[in-house]
Chains A and B, each alone.
Chain A
Amino acid sequence: VENTIRRFYGDDASAWKNRCESVVRRIVNQYTLHPVQLSVNAVTQSVADKFYKYRSRDSMSSSTAFYLIVTILMTSSSQVLQKHAANHSNSHSSETSRILKQPSFIGSIVLLGLGLCSWIMVLKHTDVSLAYPLLSINFIVVLAMSKMIFKEKIGRTRCLGCFLILAGVYFLSGAAA
Chain B
Amino acid sequence: MISQATASLIIALFGGSLGQLLMKVGIQNGDILNGLLFWQNGFNLSTSGLLALGIISYLVSMFFWIHALKTFPLSFAYPVLALSYVIVSIGAAYWPGLNESLQITKMLGLLFIIIGVYFCTLSPNSKPVESNE
Residues of A within 8 A of B (CB): 34, 36-37, 40, 44, 79-80, 82-83, 85-87, 89-91, 94, 96, 99-100, 105, 136, 139, 142-143, 145-147, 150, 152-155, 157-158, 160-174, 176-177
CB<8 Å pairs between A and B, sample of 21:
A79-B74, A82-B66, A86-B66, A86-B67, A86-B70, A87-B132, A139-B79, A142-B78, A146-B74, A152-B125, A155-B123, A157-B120, A161-B118, A161-B122, A164-B112, A165-B117, A168-B108, A169-B109, A172-B106, A172-B110, A173-B109
If over half of B's interface residues share one DSSP class (helix, strand or loop), that class is named, otherwise mixed; here it is: helix
- A70 CB to closest chain B CB (Å) equals 19
> Would A165 and B116 count as touching, CB distance under 8 A?
yes
> In the bound complex, do residue B37 and residue A150 qualify as a contact, i.e. CB atoms below 8 Å apart?
no
Chain B residues engaging chain A, CB cutoff 8 angstroms: 32-33, 37, 40, 63, 65-67, 69-70, 73-76, 78-79, 82, 85, 89, 103, 105-106, 108-120, 122-125, 131-133
**Across-interface contacts of B103 in A (CB, < 8 A):** 177
Tell me the bound Cα distance from A13 to B24 in angstroms: 52
Contacts across chains A and B counted by CB atoms under 8 Å? 148
Assembled-state Cα–Cα distance A82/B79 (Å): 15
Which chain A residue lies CB-closest to B111? A168
Q: Whole-angstrom distance from the CB of B48 to the nearest CB of chain A?
A: 15
Q: Name the residue on B nearest A34 (C-beta).
A: B40
Query: How far is A77 from B65 in the complex, measured between Cα atoms in Å?
Result: 16
8 Å CB contact of A36 from B40, B67, B113: B40
